[in-house]
Amino acid sequence: MKIESLHLIDYRNIENMDIEFAPGVNLLYGNNAQGKTNILEAIYMCAAGRSLRTHISKELIRFSRESAHIQLIADKGMYKDKINIHIRKNNKKGIAINNVHVKSINELFGTVNIILFSPEDLMLVKEGPSCRRRYMDMELCQLSRIYADNLSRYYRLLKERNTLLKEEKADNVTLDVYDSQLVDYGIKIIEERQRFINEIDIKSNLIHSDITKGRESLEVRYIPDVNINNYEKRMRESREKDIIYRSTSTGIHRDDISFDINGFNAREYGSQGQQRTICLSLKLAEVEFVKEKTGYSPVLLLDDVLSELDRSRQLYILNSIKNIQTVITSTGIDDIVENIDDDIKILYVSEGKIEEK
């Protein structure tokens, strides 16, 4: 899959912009605060239906304007898909695929498949578990609408259950109904997450060992908060506590992933360099995973991440992205251009405008 073009109107600091992307590497360069990440954010919107930086969509509208518009054309080989997103001041979004309005963001998943790699992703090992759950969910939602539906149903139920607990309206009969539904959706989510991490474990171990020239062996493990066999029992056991603390303490919203290098926990004992190499391996494993599942490469978005890595890891990425459409943002170009043999499209971004170099 390739992104053919992107058209933006009144999106963040961009008044009107048309970009035709090359099928290989596209480099967006320019000083800070010029609009490079805004462009990646708009692409991400077309894949995920939401921003990577804010939940308040009116922030995406150019200051003092009424609405913002994104149009992206994706080339799927045999056919093309056109995505239109219209963002209004009231925080409502209108989304259309091939001019047909879609009701739910979930219908968008899978139309454009992207993998974003930003400096925040380099914190994946170190940060709290929510970013590791996001790593699983972002990929699984793009690949399976059923997963996305199960996940949104789960979170809707969870929110309702927590509201009941907060308002002290939770009686055992109502909680029974909620719990059995949460368990049903939860089990489906656990199964998918387990399958995903099993494959990521194998793929990332190969990549990690390649980057570290065989010195380090990486093991990635899914750590579900509950397992399928004791899910219902654990929900029952924690009910009393949930009523006291007025919040749901057990379930897939507490899941995590663990990383071991040569048998030790990388979160606790890994150096910053080792933790970053894990993140890099995970992202590249994700690319392999998508290729296998869909038969085509996802589009890789590298937001200012190269400057955060040392030279050998930079080169490793640049060598790995052959045959993958990539959009890179950076403040400099020399390091990147020198190390890519293939054709590379260079675009200069300044004050929300773009110019081909």
Ligand X SMILES: Nc1ncnc2c1ncn2[C@@H]1O[C@H](COP(=O)(O)OP(=O)(O)O)[C@@H](O)[C@H]1O
Q: Which residue stretch of 31-39, 144-152, 178-186, 208-216 sits at the interface with Mg ion (rule: CB under 5 A)?
A: 31-39
Residue span binding ligand X (CB under 6 A) among the ranges 35-43, 81-89, 269-277, 282-290: 35-43
Q: 């190499």: which residue's tokens?
A: 277
Least Cβ distance, residue 13 to ligand X (angstroms): 3
Q: How far apart are CA 142 and CA 282, in angstroms?
A: 17
Q: Select from 2, 17, 34, 316 the one that contacts ligand X (CB under 6 A).
A: 34
- Report the amino acid identity of residue 323: N
CB of 54 or CB of 163, closer to Mg ion? 54
Binding region for ligand X (CB under 6 A) out of 26-34, 115-123, 223-231, 335-343? 26-34
Q: Which residue from 260, 311, 281 is spatially nearest to 211, judged by alpha carbons?
A: 281
Taking the complex as a whole, how short is the minimal distance between the CB of residue 88 and ligand X, in angstroms?
A: 14
> 131: how many CB neighbours lie within 10 A of its CB?
15
Binding map of ligand X across residues 293-332, x = CB under 6 A, - = no contact: ------------------------------------x---
Q: Which of the choices ligand X, Mg ion, none does residue 161 contact, using the CB cut-off of 5 to 8 A by kind? A: none
State which of residues 3, 6, 27, 35 lies at the interface with ligand X (CB under 6 A). Answer: 35
Does residue number 34 form part of the binding site for Mg ion (CB under 5 A)?
A: no
CB of 11 to ligand X, least distance (A): 8
E strand or H helix at 152: helix 145-166
CA pseudo-torsion sign 231, 234, 236, 241: negative
150 binds, among Mg ion, ligand X, none (CB under 5 to 8 A by kind): none
Which one among 13, 144, 238, 294 touches ligand X, defined by CB under 6 A?
13
Q: How many residues of this chain interact with Mg ion, rule: CB under 5 A?
A: 2
| Beta-carbon contacts of residue 169 (< 8 Å; ≥ 6 apart) | none
- Give the H/E segment covering residue 47: helix 36-48
Site for ligand X in 52-71 (CB under 6 A): 59, 61-63
Q: Shortest distance, CB of residue 69 to ligand X, whole angstroms?
A: 13
Where in 35-54 is the site for Mg ion (CB under 5 A)? 36-37
Distance in angstroms (rounded) separating the CA atoms of residues 49 and 114: 12
d(CA 182, CA 254) in angstroms, rounded, equals 13
d(CA 300, CA 286): 10
d(CA 261, CA 348): 40
- Distance of alpha carbon 251 from the chain centroid: 21
Query: How many CB atoms within 10 Å of residue 116?
Result: 23
Query: Rule CB under 5 A: which residues touch Mg ion?
Result: 36-37
Query: Rule CB under 6 A: which residues touch ligand X?
Result: 12-13, 30, 32-38, 59, 61-63, 329
